[in-house]
Structure 1
Amino acid sequence: MNSLPALTVERLLWAAAAILAYALFCGGVALRRALMRRRARRQSEAMAGGGEAVLVVYASQTGFAEDLAWTTAKALQIGEVGARVISIGDVTAQDLSAAKRALFVASTTGEGDAPDSAARFVSRVMAIEPDLSGLSYGLLSLGDSSYIHFSAFGRRLDAWLTERGAAPLFDRIEVDDGDEGALRHWQHQLSAISGVTDAPDWSRPAYERWKLVERRLLNPGSPGGEAWHVALEPAEGSAAWAAGDIAEIGPRNGPDEAGAPSHREYSIASIPQDGRIELIVRQMVRPDGGLGVGSGWLTKYAEIGGDIDLRVRTNRAFHAPEPSRPLILIGAGTGLAGLRAHLKARAAAGARRNWLIFGERSAATDYFHQAEIEAWTNAGAIERLTLAFSRDQAERVYVQHRLAEAADDLRLWVASGAAIYVCGGIEMGKAVGATLTDILGAQAMADLTEKGFYRRDVY
């Protein structure tokens, strides 16, 4: 059989290569179109919902942050809250200025660097000074604490947003190497935004068995909702935690309730030396008269001596500064819980430069743990105590008003190196943050945030 001439073989090879290249080109076009259709479909699904869409911005290096951004959008959609998901590289200053609410999911890569996809945002947006005073935001910062500059880009972004006037919806949530507890905390904050409190957890906590050993009403006769002191002890052995950590409770259903409720989070109001976890729980009443899932379980339905599913979640974002640093503690209502743990820990460590600013409705009915606080003050463990009982005079007086009245002293404390810790409701946190900015200035607040000397546990 005769072989083909060399020229003919060469032409056939070129033709085959051309056909293959064309096929790959068409395949690439089809793939890009499929990806674009998938992205458009995901975007249209995420945009579903009423009201103005929340801007969900991701800064991703490996794709994990992007996946979490889409999961975040889906979680908002369950509550009929629309979301616009966008890569940080495509975000403009105008986008942020026009948005009312934004959620950032930001990775840190290498030794504290921004992801490659964020380079344009860093050079074109963070380099200028847009007015973001109309923006409220939340930030999920992904990192790995085995690196020296853990969560560095997330912290830098947080400080920049605060400096530009944006108001945090809640304190920055840092995820150490995919920590599921921190991700559940992010989901918990999303529930507050969407109004959906019964969505299943993204990952189920590994609960331990605890015993409910005490339940005491703190404010009988109060014009506000009931607040309860709740104490729990481990069923076996002992447990360790630090002031600032969170108790994740797995509530069980009360009467006429079905389904498996997701976890509820409460600031721990005690230290390990107490031998038990103590909480301050506001009993929530739904519009239909029923009790909130978590608060109802802890304050009414669970039996004294009965089992409680509990997991301690480390909350490094609210851990204490070194004992030698002065500490200003600001809170209202059940926010006293997180502050009380810090005061206990600092009193035990002999750290006496503590300024507590606490607010509630009435001194006669709502001065939670009054005897303890006044004993600390008399003993010098609290150097300065400032109280704001809103209903005890004709005009409403809240903690931010007392803060403004003490502006000069606040500046002196901060100048001496004081850290500021805030615990309580979101609206209180916003008002306190705005007052602190008025007193200290946006740049000083950004510096405090970046250095970890301004921390919040708000809910």
Structure 2
Amino acid sequence: MVKKLLSWLFKTADSLNENQPTDTEITILYGSHSGNSEFIARETARYFKMQGIEAGIKNMAHYTVSQLSSENTILIVVSTYGEGDPPPGTESFFKELEYTNMSLRHLQYSVCALGDSDYEHFCQAGKIVDQKLKELGAVPLLARKDCDLNFRDTATDWIKNVHRLYIKNKHSHNYQQDDCIKTGTSVEISDLSTPLNNHIKKQNPAVSIHSAHIINKVLLNPGSSSEIYHIEAKIDPETTHYRPGDTISVIPRNPSPIVKSILNHFRISPDYEVPFKGELSTAGELLQTQLEITTLSKNTIKAYANATNHKALKALLENENKLNYYIKQHDLFDLITDFPNGLKIEDFINIPEKIRPRYYSIASSQEKNPHELHLTVKQIRFHQRKRVYYGACSNHLSWLKKGEKFPFKLVPNEGFRLPSDPKIPVIMIGAGTGIAPFIGFLHHRSINNTNKNWLIFGEKTKNSDFLYNKQIIEWKRQGLLQHLDMAFSREPSTRQYVQDKILEKADLMVQWINEGARIYVCGSVRMGEGVKQAINHLPLNKPKDINRSSTILELLKYQGQYYEDLY
């Protein structure tokens, strides 16, 4: 039985590129946001190649559905983004797939879907592709595999079995749909005589939910308009293994003030019992731990409108701009007070969606602190409409006291890995809490005394918002940071953003890139767009064999020199 995962020590950015020969036997198509789908696709191609089978890799963002007509076997690895959406950049592929009626009876395929089971629409993007391909007549070589956050074992299982069935079909020339292994079936896999079993990391599903307890908490920005905390938690290194760049997923406890407000609205106590999913539960516990109440979604508003038949709310649903604004600015308590109704709690309790996990980049290195996991948490709390609004998880974590525990899941981020060779230069670009993974990176790089590190960090003001200032300045003094550039957007004399620093240091940036530097970007999507625009304006010479219409950013991605984690 396979107990280890395929060659996680290989780097995603290594050799296998997407300009494969057109005569490959198999095409592996990936749609990725964090990089995990791309990583699995590349490892699949690597494994097939070790078995003597050439497989081409294609990015779904640059692939059309019409190209399927020339494929014989296609393997699809795709993640789900947000509330059941396809990953950014793949929208045109999904739209074309939705409307096509081309026949794909000649095509055999298999789908490896990635998602997070804490979300309602788990692996939805993969399910959509799988269902549509079946409708078009394509035959599943292996039934779809749905991978949760701890995807290693499931992905390995999919890789090995899809290879086994491909070989079986190739030799028999009589492939039948009944050969397809049904989704969810437990499969015994005999060991293969390849490096596969020698380089795989052991994964224990029993510890997919980990536990940590608070050992220290430090306010990083005294005097700032929004509090940001550095939180240190103790973990069990025997069961919890993370790498720089990884994130964690936390299911929060909703803030007590909003829970109390909703209970008061319905004039019930926290212990009032209501039927929920076939069982009796207390309203207080459901609102605190099971339901999404600090944010709204279109589905929640639509369900509430249908239950109340509220005319003003139905009108809001028909105006997309006003609806999106309302969703961004309000929470569940606003919904029930802005659009009053006669619903009883028994009818209302099934309207909100399941509480969603929140994600935090890890700000530590386990090689340096084996028993610890560090986070950088911005507390979301603001006054509006004569009341206080709270973020769910940020307040939950920042309110925890020393010794208190919280459960979490590890979320591997294979698309945001440090180079395995510590001599390779690293450029880190982040703003706000986007500094978190870079603190972990620098702790990790300090182990090998690697000084080819450059940090470009942006925040509002120098005096109040320079996060980790003492640690960063000390790293600069020690020489761990060869270059440090700061951009403060609300300093009267020097209003700058991180993208301004990129252009200001363009010549040095090009020099580092030519030396093989890896660029890492972490922060908001808006910040990331500014950074990408700046990178595309760098005076970097393109190799002669590269399409001249390609952007600098596309070139860097192609060469494995650009990685991002945006939110």
TM-score by length of 2: 0.49
In structure 1, C-alpha distance between the alignment counterparts of 2:460 and 2:123, rounded to whole Å? 26
| 3-state secondary structure, aligned to 2:512 | helix
Greater radius of gyration (CA): 1
1:282 counterpart letter in structure 2: K
- Contact in 2 for aligned 1:333/1:359 (Cα 8 Å): yes
2:402 is equivalent to residue 297 of structure 1:
no
User: What displacement does 1:279 show?
Assistant: 0.8
Deviation of 1:359 after TM superposition, in Å, equals: 0.9
Cα distance in 2, alignment partners of residues 413 and 328 from structure 1? 8
Structure with the greater relative contact order (CA < 8 A, sep ≥ 6): 1 or 2? Answer: 2
What corresponds to 1:246 in structure 2? 247
- Structure 1 residues 318-357: aligned runs within 5 Å: 318-321=416-419, 322-357=421-456
Q: Quick one: structure 1 residues 210 and 328, their matched pair in 2 at CA, closer, same or farther if it must change by over 3 Å?
A: same
What SS does the corresponding residue of 2:221 show, helix, strand or coil? coil
- Residue 408 of structure 1 is matched in structure 2 by 507
Q: Structure 2: how far apart are the matches of 1:367 and 1:337?
A: 13
Structure 1 residues 187 and 436: alpha-carbon distance in aligned structure 2, compared to 1, 3 A threshold: farther
Structure 2 counterpart of 1:377, from 460, 464, 476: 476
Alignment map for 1:162-173 (pairs within 5 Å): none
1:230 corresponds to 2:231: yes
Distance 1:295 1:429, change over 3 A: same
Q: Quick check: 1:243–1:342 contact (8 Å CA) kept in 2?
A: yes
Structure 1: gaps (5+ residues): 1-109, 119-136, 161-168, 191-201
Give the equivalent residue in structure 2 for 1:279.
375
For residues 396 and 440 of structure 1, do their structure 2 counterparts lie closer, same or farther at Cα, with a shift above 3 Å needed?
same
Q: How does 1:85-234 map to 2 (within 5 A)?
A: 113=27, 141=38, 143=41, 145-148=43-46, 153-155=57-59, 157=61, 178=112, 180=114, 206-223=208-225, 225-234=226-235
CA 1:382–1:177 in 2, change beyond 3 Å: closer, same or farther?
farther
- Give the aligned residue type for 1:263: P
Amino acid at match of 1:113: T
SS in 1 for 2:403: coil
Contact 2:230 2:374 in 1 (8 A): yes
CA 1:158/1:231 → structure 2, altered by over 3 Å: closer, same or farther?
farther
Matched, 1:449 2:557: yes
Q: Counterpart amino acid of 1:421?
A: Y
Residue aligned with 2:398, SS: helix
DSSP 3-state at the match of 2:46: coil
The Cα shift of 1:177 comes to 8.2
Quick check: 1:159–1:449 contact (8 Å CA) kept in 2?
no
Aligned partners of 1:112 and 1:149 also within 8 Å:
no
TM-superposed CA distance for 1:450, in Å, is 2.0
The whole-number CA distance in structure 1 between the counterparts of 2:122 and 2:453 is 30
Q: Distance in 2 between matches of 1:323 and 1:159?
A: 35
Secondary structure at the counterpart of residue 410 of structure 2: strand
CA contact (8 A) 1:171 1:456 kept: no
Q: Distance in 1 between matches of 2:63 and 2:534?
A: 17
Give the equivalent residue in structure 1 for 2:414: 316
Cα distance between partner residues in 1 of 2:496 and 2:487: 6
Kindly indicate which of the two structures has a greater share of residues assigned to helix: 1
Q: Is the 8 A contact 2:113 2:123 kept in 1?
A: no
Distance change (3 Å), C-alpha of 1:112 and 1:381? farther
Find the aligned partners of 2:485 and 2:63 in 1 and give their Cα distance.
28
CA RMSD of aligned residues (A): 3.9
Give SS of 1:446's match.
Answer: helix
Structure 1 residues 46-103: Cα deviation after superposition (integer angstroms, max 9, x where no partner): xxxxxxxxxxxxxxxxxxxxxxxxxxxxxxxxxxxxxxxxxxxxxxxxxxxxxxxxxx
Q: Give 1:184 deviation, angstroms.
A: 7.0
Does 2:270 align with 1:270? no
| Number of aligned residue pairs | 310
Query: Does 2:566 align with 1:458?
Result: yes
Q: Which amino acid aligns with 1:211?
A: H
Partner of 1:72: none
SS at match of 1:373: helix
SS in 1 for 2:376: strand
What SS class does the counterpart of residue 447 from structure 1 fall into?
helix
Residue 89 of structure 1: aligned partner: none
Q: Is the 8 A contact 1:243 1:270 kept in 2?
A: yes
Q: Deviations over 1:210-233 (max 9, x none)?
A: 11222221111113x211111111
If the length of structure 1 is used for normalisation, what is the TM-score? 0.59
Residue pair 2:149, 2:410 contacting (<8 A) in 1 also: no
Sequence identity (%): 27
Shift of 1:296: 1.3
Output aligned runs, 1:390-401, within 5 Å.
390-394=489-493, 396-401=495-500
Measure, in 2, the Cα distance between the counterparts of 1:145 and 1:177: 15
Q: Which amino acid aligns with 2:27?
A: D
Specify the code of the residue in structure 2 equivalent to 1:266: Y
Return the offset for 1:397: 0.8
What one-letter code is carried by the residue in structure 2 that aligns with 1:311? K
